[in-house]
Protein backbone atom coordinates (compact mmCIF):
# COMPACT_ATOMS: atom_id res chain seq x y z
CA UNK A 1 0.00 0.00 0.00
CA UNK A 2 1.32 3.43 -0.97
CA UNK A 3 -1.80 5.53 -0.74
CA UNK A 4 -4.64 6.26 1.68
CA UNK A 5 -7.91 7.86 0.72
CA UNK A 6 -10.58 9.10 3.12
CA UNK A 7 -13.37 11.62 3.62
CA UNK A 8 -13.72 14.34 6.22
CA UNK A 9 -16.22 16.91 7.38
CA UNK A 10 -14.71 18.65 10.39
CA UNK A 11 -11.19 17.82 9.20
CA UNK A 12 -9.92 16.18 12.39
CA UNK A 13 -9.91 12.67 10.95
CA UNK A 14 -8.27 13.89 7.75
CA UNK A 15 -5.66 15.69 9.83
CA UNK A 16 -4.85 12.49 11.72
CA UNK A 17 -4.36 10.56 8.49
CA UNK A 18 -2.24 13.36 7.04
CA UNK A 19 0.09 13.13 10.03
CA UNK A 20 0.23 9.34 9.73
CA UNK A 21 0.93 9.59 6.02
CA UNK A 22 3.81 11.99 6.65
CA UNK A 23 5.37 9.63 9.19
CA UNK A 24 4.96 6.47 7.11
CA UNK A 25 5.68 7.95 3.68
CA UNK A 26 2.16 7.43 2.32
CA UNK A 27 0.23 9.58 -0.12
CA UNK A 28 -2.98 10.80 1.51
CA UNK A 29 -6.00 11.93 -0.48
CA UNK A 30 -8.83 13.59 1.47
CA UNK A 31 -12.28 14.23 0.05
CA UNK A 32 -13.39 17.16 2.20
CA UNK A 33 -17.08 18.02 2.22
CA UNK A 34 -17.32 21.15 0.06
CA UNK A 35 -18.96 23.38 2.66
CA UNK A 36 -16.26 22.40 5.19
CA UNK A 37 -13.58 22.91 2.51
CA UNK A 38 -14.85 26.49 2.24
CA UNK A 39 -15.56 27.10 5.94
CA UNK A 40 -12.40 25.51 7.37
CA UNK A 41 -9.41 26.81 5.34
CA UNK A 42 -7.03 26.44 8.30
CA UNK A 43 -7.90 22.78 8.76
CA UNK A 44 -7.32 22.25 5.05
CA UNK A 45 -3.97 24.09 5.24
CA UNK A 46 -2.95 21.88 8.18
CA UNK A 47 -3.58 18.72 6.17
CA UNK A 48 -1.78 20.10 3.13
CA UNK A 49 1.20 21.00 5.31
CA UNK A 50 1.72 17.28 5.87
CA UNK A 51 1.39 16.46 2.19
CA UNK A 52 -2.28 15.57 1.90
CA UNK A 53 -4.18 16.32 -1.28
CA UNK A 54 -7.49 17.91 -0.19
CA UNK A 55 -10.33 17.77 -2.68
CA UNK A 56 -13.66 19.58 -2.34
CA UNK A 57 -16.50 17.03 -2.51
CA UNK A 58 -18.51 16.61 -4.66
CA UNK A 59 -15.76 16.73 -7.27
CA UNK A 60 -15.27 16.01 -10.95
CA UNK A 61 -12.78 13.24 -10.14
CA UNK A 62 -15.32 10.47 -9.60
CA UNK A 63 -18.48 9.12 -11.16
CA UNK A 64 -20.24 9.69 -7.83
CA UNK A 65 -19.14 13.32 -7.64
CA UNK A 66 -19.98 14.10 -11.25
CA UNK A 67 -23.47 12.64 -10.82
CA UNK A 68 -24.16 14.90 -7.85
CA UNK A 69 -22.82 17.98 -9.63
CA UNK A 70 -24.87 17.23 -12.73
CA UNK A 71 -28.04 17.23 -10.65
CA UNK A 72 -26.98 19.94 -8.18
CA UNK A 73 -24.13 22.13 -9.53
CA UNK A 74 -24.08 24.22 -6.35
CA UNK A 75 -24.15 21.25 -3.96
CA UNK A 76 -22.54 21.96 -0.58
CA UNK A 77 -21.76 18.26 -0.27
CA UNK A 78 -22.22 15.83 2.57
CA UNK A 79 -20.26 13.12 4.34
CA UNK A 80 -22.32 10.53 2.46
CA UNK A 81 -21.16 11.97 -0.87
CA UNK A 82 -17.55 12.26 0.29
CA UNK A 83 -17.57 8.63 1.43
CA UNK A 84 -18.81 7.57 -2.01
CA UNK A 85 -15.99 9.47 -3.71
CA UNK A 86 -13.29 8.16 -1.38
CA UNK A 87 -14.45 4.54 -1.72
CA UNK A 88 -14.66 4.85 -5.51
CA UNK A 89 -11.11 6.22 -5.72
CA UNK A 90 -9.78 3.47 -3.45
CA UNK A 91 -11.20 0.60 -5.50
CA UNK A 92 -9.70 2.01 -8.70
CA UNK A 93 -6.10 1.41 -7.58
CA UNK A 94 -4.43 -1.70 -6.19
CA UNK A 95 -1.99 0.36 -4.10
CA UNK A 96 -4.73 2.35 -2.32
CA UNK A 97 -6.72 1.63 0.84
CA UNK A 98 -9.74 3.46 2.17
CA UNK A 99 -9.66 4.55 5.83
CA UNK A 100 -12.92 5.28 7.67
CA UNK A 101 -12.99 7.43 10.81
CA UNK A 102 -16.51 6.86 12.15
CA UNK A 103 -19.87 5.05 11.80
CA UNK A 104 -18.82 1.42 11.45
CA UNK A 105 -18.87 -0.59 14.65
CA UNK A 106 -15.20 -1.58 14.63
CA UNK A 107 -14.24 2.11 14.61
CA UNK A 108 -16.43 2.79 17.64
CA UNK A 109 -14.92 -0.14 19.51
CA UNK A 110 -11.43 1.16 18.74
CA UNK A 111 -12.44 4.55 20.14
CA UNK A 112 -13.54 3.06 23.46
CA UNK A 113 -10.00 3.59 24.72
CA UNK A 114 -11.35 7.09 25.54
CA UNK A 115 -13.99 5.76 27.91
CA UNK A 116 -11.65 3.18 29.38
CA UNK A 117 -9.18 5.93 30.25
CA UNK A 118 -12.02 8.00 31.73
CA UNK A 119 -12.98 5.10 34.01
CA UNK A 120 -9.39 4.93 35.28
CA UNK A 121 -9.35 8.69 35.85
CA UNK A 122 -12.56 8.50 37.88
CA UNK A 123 -11.01 5.66 39.89
CA UNK A 124 -8.11 7.96 40.77
CA UNK A 125 -10.60 10.59 41.91
CA UNK A 126 -12.64 8.01 43.84
CA UNK A 127 -15.72 9.08 41.91
CA UNK A 128 -18.01 7.91 39.10
CA UNK A 129 -20.09 9.87 36.58
CA UNK A 130 -23.86 10.10 36.91
CA UNK A 131 -24.30 11.67 33.47
CA UNK A 132 -22.25 11.03 30.30
CA UNK A 133 -22.58 13.28 27.24
CA UNK A 134 -21.11 13.19 23.74
CA UNK A 135 -21.92 14.83 20.42
CA UNK A 136 -23.02 12.52 17.63
CA UNK A 137 -22.51 12.72 13.87
CA UNK A 138 -21.41 9.27 12.78
CA UNK A 139 -21.10 8.11 16.39
CA UNK A 140 -17.39 7.42 17.02
CA UNK A 141 -16.54 9.91 19.76
CA UNK A 142 -19.87 9.36 21.52
CA UNK A 143 -19.41 5.60 21.46
CA UNK A 144 -15.81 6.05 22.52
CA UNK A 145 -16.70 7.89 25.71
CA UNK A 146 -20.01 6.20 26.57
CA UNK A 147 -19.73 2.52 25.66
CA UNK A 148 -17.30 1.45 28.43
CA UNK A 149 -19.62 2.96 31.05
CA UNK A 150 -22.68 1.38 29.44
CA UNK A 151 -20.81 -1.93 29.44
CA UNK A 152 -20.07 -1.56 33.16
CA UNK A 153 -23.76 -0.86 33.78
CA UNK A 154 -24.85 -3.95 31.81
CA UNK A 155 -22.46 -6.04 33.89
CA UNK A 156 -24.09 -4.87 37.12
CA UNK A 157 -22.13 -1.64 37.65
CA UNK A 158 -23.50 1.80 38.50
CA UNK A 159 -26.38 3.11 36.42
CA UNK A 160 -25.56 6.15 34.30
CA UNK A 161 -27.65 8.60 32.30
CA UNK A 162 -26.17 8.75 28.79
CA UNK A 163 -27.03 11.60 26.41
CA UNK A 164 -26.22 11.69 22.69
CA UNK A 165 -26.33 15.24 21.30
CA UNK A 166 -26.87 16.02 17.62
CA UNK A 167 -27.53 19.08 15.44
CA UNK A 168 -31.17 20.08 15.07
CA UNK A 169 -30.73 20.56 11.33
CA UNK A 170 -29.49 17.00 10.79
CA UNK A 171 -31.22 15.03 13.57
CA UNK A 172 -30.90 11.31 12.94
CA UNK A 173 -31.46 9.90 16.43
CA UNK A 174 -34.26 12.27 17.43
CA UNK A 175 -36.10 12.45 14.08
CA UNK A 176 -34.62 9.81 11.79
CA UNK A 177 -36.06 6.45 10.82
CA UNK A 178 -34.55 3.29 12.32
CA UNK A 179 -34.09 1.18 9.22
CA UNK A 180 -31.59 -0.45 6.88
CA UNK A 181 -29.81 2.10 4.71
CA UNK A 182 -26.59 2.65 2.82
CA UNK A 183 -23.72 4.45 4.52
CA UNK A 184 -22.99 6.56 1.45
CA UNK A 185 -24.88 8.43 -1.24
CA UNK A 186 -23.87 6.25 -4.21
CA UNK A 187 -24.69 3.00 -2.38
CA UNK A 188 -21.20 1.53 -2.50
CA UNK A 189 -21.20 0.48 1.17
CA UNK A 190 -23.04 -2.46 2.76
CA UNK A 191 -26.50 -1.92 4.24
CA UNK A 192 -26.48 -0.83 7.88
CA UNK A 193 -29.37 -0.84 10.34
CA UNK A 194 -29.26 2.65 11.78
CA UNK A 195 -31.18 5.81 12.48
CA UNK A 196 -31.11 7.58 9.14
CA UNK A 197 -32.41 10.57 7.21
CA UNK A 198 -31.94 8.70 3.94
CA UNK A 199 -28.61 8.27 2.13
CA UNK A 200 -29.31 11.04 -0.39
CA UNK A 201 -30.21 13.63 2.27
CA UNK A 202 -27.92 16.68 2.15
CA UNK A 203 -28.05 18.74 5.38
CA UNK A 204 -27.80 22.54 5.43
CA UNK A 205 -24.28 23.98 5.51
CA UNK A 206 -23.90 24.56 9.24
CA UNK A 207 -20.43 24.84 10.79
CA UNK A 208 -20.35 21.54 12.69
CA UNK A 209 -19.18 19.71 9.57
CA UNK A 210 -18.30 16.52 11.44
CA UNK A 211 -21.97 16.09 12.39
CA UNK A 212 -23.38 16.52 8.85
CA UNK A 213 -24.04 12.83 8.23
CA UNK A 214 -27.33 11.28 7.16
CA UNK A 215 -27.07 8.24 9.43
CA UNK A 216 -25.81 7.04 12.78
CA UNK A 217 -23.52 4.17 13.74
CA UNK A 218 -25.44 0.88 14.12
CA UNK A 219 -24.18 0.39 17.68
CA UNK A 220 -25.18 3.90 18.74
CA UNK A 221 -28.55 3.43 17.04
CA UNK A 222 -29.04 0.17 18.93
CA UNK A 223 -28.08 1.73 22.25
CA UNK A 224 -30.64 4.51 21.80
CA UNK A 225 -33.31 2.13 20.50
CA UNK A 226 -32.74 -0.07 23.57
CA UNK A 227 -33.19 2.83 25.98
CA UNK A 228 -29.60 2.76 27.21
CA UNK A 229 -29.09 6.32 26.00
CA UNK A 230 -31.32 9.26 25.12
CA UNK A 231 -30.87 11.75 22.29
CA UNK A 232 -31.19 15.52 22.16
CA UNK A 233 -30.88 18.00 19.31
CA UNK A 234 -29.66 21.60 19.52
CA UNK A 235 -29.47 24.46 17.06
CA UNK A 236 -26.20 26.05 15.96
CA UNK A 237 -26.49 29.41 17.75
CA UNK A 238 -27.24 28.00 21.20
CA UNK A 239 -24.27 25.65 20.81
CA UNK A 240 -21.87 28.48 19.92
CA UNK A 241 -23.18 30.45 22.89
CA UNK A 242 -22.30 27.50 25.12
CA UNK A 243 -18.87 27.14 23.52
CA UNK A 244 -18.01 30.78 24.21
CA UNK A 245 -19.23 30.46 27.80
CA UNK A 246 -17.04 27.37 28.25
CA UNK A 247 -14.01 29.07 26.71
CA UNK A 248 -14.27 32.06 29.01
CA UNK A 249 -14.54 29.79 32.04
CA UNK A 250 -11.98 27.11 31.11
CA UNK A 251 -9.60 28.71 28.61
CA UNK A 252 -10.30 26.11 25.92
CA UNK A 253 -12.25 27.04 22.78
CA UNK A 254 -14.26 24.01 21.63
CA UNK A 255 -14.81 22.97 18.04
CA UNK A 256 -18.32 23.58 16.64
CA UNK A 257 -19.03 19.84 16.92
CA UNK A 258 -17.94 19.68 20.56
CA UNK A 259 -20.10 22.73 21.34
CA UNK A 260 -23.13 20.44 21.14
CA UNK A 261 -21.84 18.35 24.04
CA UNK A 262 -20.90 21.52 25.93
CA UNK A 263 -24.45 22.83 25.48
CA UNK A 264 -25.95 19.68 26.95
CA UNK A 265 -23.43 19.60 29.82
CA UNK A 266 -24.22 23.20 30.80
CA UNK A 267 -27.95 22.49 30.64
CA UNK A 268 -27.54 19.44 32.88
CA UNK A 269 -25.43 21.43 35.35
CA UNK A 270 -28.05 24.18 35.50
CA UNK A 271 -30.76 21.57 36.04
CA UNK A 272 -28.82 20.13 38.97
CA UNK A 273 -28.26 23.61 40.37
CA UNK A 274 -31.98 24.33 40.21
CA UNK A 275 -32.97 21.03 41.84
CA UNK A 276 -30.16 21.06 44.40
CA UNK A 277 -28.77 17.70 43.22
CA UNK A 278 -25.09 16.90 43.26
CA UNK A 279 -24.23 14.90 40.15
CA UNK A 280 -20.94 14.18 38.37
CA UNK A 281 -21.19 15.11 34.69
CA UNK A 282 -18.71 13.70 32.17
CA UNK A 283 -18.70 15.02 28.61
CA UNK A 284 -16.36 14.47 25.70
CA UNK A 285 -14.63 17.63 24.48
CA UNK A 286 -13.97 15.99 21.14
CA UNK A 287 -11.98 18.78 19.49
CA UNK A 288 -10.63 22.30 19.91
CA UNK A 289 -11.78 25.20 17.78
CA UNK A 290 -8.38 26.67 16.94
CA UNK A 291 -8.92 25.82 13.26
CA UNK A 292 -12.52 27.06 13.32
CA UNK A 293 -11.94 30.73 14.04
CA UNK A 294 -13.91 31.86 10.98
CA UNK A 295 -16.96 30.22 12.53
CA UNK A 296 -16.47 32.18 15.74
CA UNK A 297 -15.76 35.37 13.77
CA UNK A 298 -19.08 34.91 11.97
CA UNK A 299 -20.82 34.15 15.27
CA UNK A 300 -19.60 37.35 16.94
CA UNK A 301 -20.48 39.35 13.81
CA UNK A 302 -24.04 38.01 13.88
CA UNK A 303 -23.57 36.22 10.56
CA UNK A 304 -24.40 32.73 11.83
CA UNK A 305 -28.00 31.60 11.83
CA UNK A 306 -29.97 28.43 12.43
CA UNK A 307 -30.66 26.72 9.12
CA UNK A 308 -33.71 24.45 8.84
CA UNK A 309 -33.49 21.43 6.58
CA UNK A 310 -35.80 21.10 3.59
CA UNK A 311 -38.75 18.85 4.47
CA UNK A 312 -39.35 17.96 0.83
CA UNK A 313 -35.74 16.83 0.41
CA UNK A 314 -36.00 14.73 3.55
CA UNK A 315 -39.19 13.12 2.28
CA UNK A 316 -37.53 12.19 -1.00
CA UNK A 317 -34.50 10.76 0.80
CA UNK A 318 -36.61 8.61 3.12
CA UNK A 319 -38.74 7.43 0.22
CA UNK A 320 -35.56 6.02 -1.32
CA UNK A 321 -34.71 3.73 1.61
CA UNK A 322 -33.94 0.21 0.39
CA UNK A 323 -36.59 -2.48 0.77
CA UNK A 324 -35.27 -5.24 3.00
CA UNK A 325 -36.87 -8.54 3.95
Interval 176-216: pLDDT, tens:
999 999 999 999 989 999 999 999 888 888 888 888 899 99
Domain borders along the chain are 3-98, 105-319
Band (309; pLDDT cuts 50, 70, 90): confident
The domain defined by 3-98 folds into: Rossmann fold (3.40.50)
Rounded mean pLDDT of 247-260?
96
Band (311; pLDDT cuts 50, 70, 90): confident
> Which has more confidence, 324 or 288?
288
The total of other beta-carbon atoms located within 10 Å of residue 325's CB is 3
pTM for this entry: 0.93
Band (119; pLDDT cuts 50, 70, 90): very high
Band (8; pLDDT cuts 50, 70, 90): confident
Band (12; pLDDT cuts 50, 70, 90): confident
Task: Give, in words, the CATH class of 105-319.
Answer: alpha beta
Distance set, CA 172 to CA 49, 216, 232, 237, 266 (Å): 34, 7, 10, 19, 22
Query: For the residues of 170-234, what is the DSSP string, one character each?
Result: S-STTTSEEEEEESSTTS-SPEEEEEES-TT------S-GGG--SB--HHHHHHHHTTSSEEEEE
Interatomic CA distance for residues 68 and 8, integer angstroms:
18
Amino acid sequence: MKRLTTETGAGQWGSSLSLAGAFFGLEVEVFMVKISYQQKPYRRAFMESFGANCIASPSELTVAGRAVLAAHPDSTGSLGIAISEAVERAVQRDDTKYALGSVLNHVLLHQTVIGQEAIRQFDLADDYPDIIIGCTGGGSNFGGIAFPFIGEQLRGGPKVAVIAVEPANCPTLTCGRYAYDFGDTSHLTPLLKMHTRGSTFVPPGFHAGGLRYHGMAPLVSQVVASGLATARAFHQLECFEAGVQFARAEGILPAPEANHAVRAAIDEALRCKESGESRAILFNLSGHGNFDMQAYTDYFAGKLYDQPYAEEELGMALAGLPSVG
